[in-house]
Amino acid sequence: MVSNGIHQYDQKVEEQFLNFEFDGRKGRKLFKQEQFLANGTRKLTEFQNTGQIKVPNLPLKKAPFIFKGALGEAIVSFLDYKHVEERLSTIRLHCYKRCLFLFLEYCNENKIHIVRDIDLAVLLHYINTINCGKTLIVPVLSTLRCFLKYLFEQKLLAIDYSRRIPRYRIIDQPKLPSTYSKEEIEKLIVSIDRSSPIGKRNYAIILLAARLGLRASDISRLKFANLHWDTSTIEIEQVKTGKELILPLLPDVGNAIIDYLKYGRAKSEEACVFLSERSPYSNFASSNVVTHIVQRAYKKAGINTEGRRFGPHSLRHSLGFRMLEESTVLPVISEVLGHKSTESTRYYLRIDLKSMQQCMLEVPSVSPDFYLQKGGVFYD
């Protein structure tokens, strides 16, 4: 509002602000943090119009799990045993109830009402019908395994089917990092207006992320003590890893910081280099400030960000990707990005298509005689 000379807040200002922040994106197209900002802004408008903020209606209390029949009695007996013998927490006990209630519903639908009717075929068919997310399938199978072991130990089942329940292992591949080409990064840097104090500050911040790959948390907490002009280095203890990191203070980065300190930074005794643009000119409350600075710069530069994240980490990822393209070895990239080990840096190998193409093997040609062997009968 200050930047645009707006003195009175209303719903029109809300719409203009959200369009500016999210470039017209709405609903599910917003990241979680963006949705939080959008909801907060709408609540501000709601408070201005009504003088209060409505508390959303709480969901109705779910009906309790009721275990009926002989099989239900066996489940209740199992739950009592776990509660008394293992002193399960209320949350854990509720998880057991929920998982076994699903199994009981399946059994009732398939006319399986007593324990001795349970066999391996029933169990495997039930597992194939489980329709839940991969994070829920693990506790469902684990609970079923415990229940079957209990039934065997209590001599209610003649066979220990708990050993036959398959194990489900969740292996998540991390998402591919969002990267931008060298031309896009240069377009972003050049687009920053350095005629104002804010522009000088933002220019230095974006250079630190793009040229040196610093995280937003490290940029927001950068102190004068970290700048070693005599050796032209930046020496920090990384917020995320606690690992010490020494990087060269590149000429354009150093000049951008000097330009900000001389002509952009307000007079302050703060130990941090970068300050807010308005009084009382304090240091950044969180790394989110750096994130918003970079995101706004992407939008103003007119760079296509569809399907890609466009925060400070995208600048860091792009630097790592370019180094990989230039055949920089992993230990060097790991050292520059401040990773604890090269295992974190291997994350970038999956997007190095140029190197992958170099590993392709030609498929050898096959002699026509191969297809005609034995009269070609094998291939009819």
Nearest to 290 by CA among 194, 203, 192, 178: 203
Measured at the CA of 187, the angle between CA 186 and CA 193, to 5 degrees, comes to: 105
DSSP state of 86: S
Residue 330 above 80 pLDDT?
no
pLDDT (0 to 100) of residue 379? 55
In this prediction, residue 376 has a pLDDT band, given cuts at 50, 70 and 90, of low
DSSP state of 223: B
pTM: 0.54
CATH topology of domain 69-164: DNA polymerase; domain 1 (1.10.150)
In this prediction, residue 250 has a pLDDT band, given cuts at 50, 70 and 90, of very high
In this prediction, residue 258 has a pLDDT band, given cuts at 50, 70 and 90, of very high
pLDDT (0 to 100) of residue 37? 87
Would you say the CATH fold of 182-356 matches that of 69-164?
no
Cβ neighbours, 10 Å, residue 47: 12
To the nearest whole number, what is the mean pLDDT of the chain?
85
pLDDT (0 to 100) of residue 55? 73
pLDDT digits (tens, 9 = 90+) for 262-272: 999 999 999 99
pLDDT (0 to 100) of residue 213? 92
Is the model more confident about 218 or about 92?
218
CATH pick for 182-356 out of 1.10.357.10, 1.10.443.10, 2.50.20.10, 1.10.10.10: 1.10.443.10
Arithmetic mean of pLDDT, 131-145: 82
Arithmetic mean of pLDDT, 230-236: 95
Residue 370 above 80 pLDDT?
no
DSSP string, 247-295: EE--HHHHHHHHHHHHHTSPP---SBS-B-SSTT-PBPSSTHHHHHHHH
Domain boundaries, given as residue ranges, for the chain: 11-50, 69-164, 182-356
Arithmetic mean of pLDDT, 36-62: 81
